[in-house]
Amino acid sequence: MESNRIELENPQVEYLADSSVDEAVDAQIRKLLTTCFTKPEDVVFRDRRYFIEPYPHRWVIWDMQGSLVAHIGVHEKTVEADARHFRIGGICEVCVHPDFRGRGFVRKMLVCVHDWLVRNEFDFAILFGDPRIYGSSGYVQKDNLIHDDATATGKSGTSQSPVMVRPLTETSWPGGPVYLPGPKF
């Protein structure tokens, strides 16, 4: 898609609770997700503001006309490893409108997300995404995450997937298998 450079003075990152999303904001979220995610399976965003599972938290940036231009969703999850449980912020639906890309909005939103996760005593932020986008925000790739597979009919087995991990405390990511109940996000 062709990009038109639009200036945005002092863009502010705003927290958006899913419980506060009304019809108009829901339409804006679905519009941005539909613009940014264009694989066949992303067609779900025409009808709902999440891919597989709903999530409670979002951080967003609005433009000066009140249009949504950047978005990060956050699931609250728990992973299990060595009989221990760790609280996880599951980062999803990271996107920036094509007209506003390349000016650090992802990094800026992630600073706010991480700050909130630390204050709320989460152990790690994790995501399934391109290492080139998230390395500068402190994410490193790990290969020991096992999660449930999701199909239209529900759970159907488990898979191991590469995952990007950002520690939020002094605790290190476990070395052995780490199990994430539920599907990838």
Ligand X SMILES: CC(C)(COP(=O)(O)OP(=O)(O)OC[C@H]1O[C@@H](n2cnc3c(N)ncnc32)[C@H](O)[C@@H]1OP(=O)(O)O)[C@@H](O)C(=O)NCCC(=O)NCCS
Contacts to ligand X from residues 26-55, by CB under 6 A: 36-37
Binding mask 57-86 for ligand X (x = CB under 6 A): ------------------------------
Is residue 95 part of the contact set for ligand X (CB under 6 A)?
A: yes
Cβ 106 vs Cβ 137: under 8 Å: yes
103 is a site residue for ligand X (CB under 6 A): yes
Which among 3-11, 39-47, 96-104, 170-178 is the span making contact with ligand X, rule CB under 6 A?
96-104
DSSP 8-state class, residue 64: T
For the record, the structure tokens of 60 come out as 């967003």
Our CB check for ligand X shows the closer of 50 and 81 to be 50
Give the span between the Cα atoms of 19 and 99, in whole angstroms: 28
CA distances to 63, 67, 128, 139, 151 from 91, in Å: 22, 22, 8, 11, 20
Q: Which is nearer to ligand X, 11 or 81 (CB)?
A: 11
